[in-house]
Amino acid sequence: MSWKKFASLAALSLVAACAAGPMAPVQQSGADVSDWPAHRSPTRLDPAMETRIANIVAGMTLEQKIGQITQPDVRWITPDEVAQYYIGSVLNGGGAWPNNNKRATVQDWASQSAAYHAAAMR
């Protein structure tokens, strides 16, 4: 993945993230939601974990943050680029087979997955 390609992808991701932001509330006449149950998460927040997460994010560069929210298709990114651009996840599905081999073996799939995992952990 070239730098220009990465910059374009990052810019598109940021624009999409901004567009997905909260919208102004819309007044709906006649809608009575007083009977609706309040949302309660089944998982309690762990203050120690929340602190750890905040510290990790605070220590990340902008490039790392952008990489973590980017999910390229496995056909268009190499394991080395995953490490170079701090990619958070790689989409693998919808006709993307290891080495473009529709009849790839289980070992081919495992090897491909291991290569991307190793790159992400660098």
Closest-CA residue to 72 (of 20, 6, 11):
6
The pLDDT value given to residue 85? 97
Tokens standing for residue 33? 């939601």
Q: Given pLDDT bands bounded at 50, 70 and 90, which one contains residue 117? A: very high
Secondary structure (H, E, C), 94-111: CCCCHHHCCCCCHHHHHH
What pTM did the predictor assign? 0.61
The rounded distance, in Å, linking the Cα atoms of 80 and 77 is 8
Q: What is the pLDDT of residues 56-102, one digit of tens each?
A: 999 999 999 999 999 999 999 999 999 999 999 999 988 899 999 99
The rounded distance, in Å, linking the Cα atoms of 9 and 4 is 8
> Number of H helices and number of E strands within the chain?
5, 0
Whether pLDDT at 11 is above 80: no
With contact defined as beta carbons under 8 Å apart, do 87 and 81 qualify?
yes
User: For the residues 103-109, what does the mean pLDDT come to?
Assistant: 96
DSSP state of 108: H
Any idea what the Cα angle at residue 42 is, between residues 40 and 44, rounded to 5°? 95
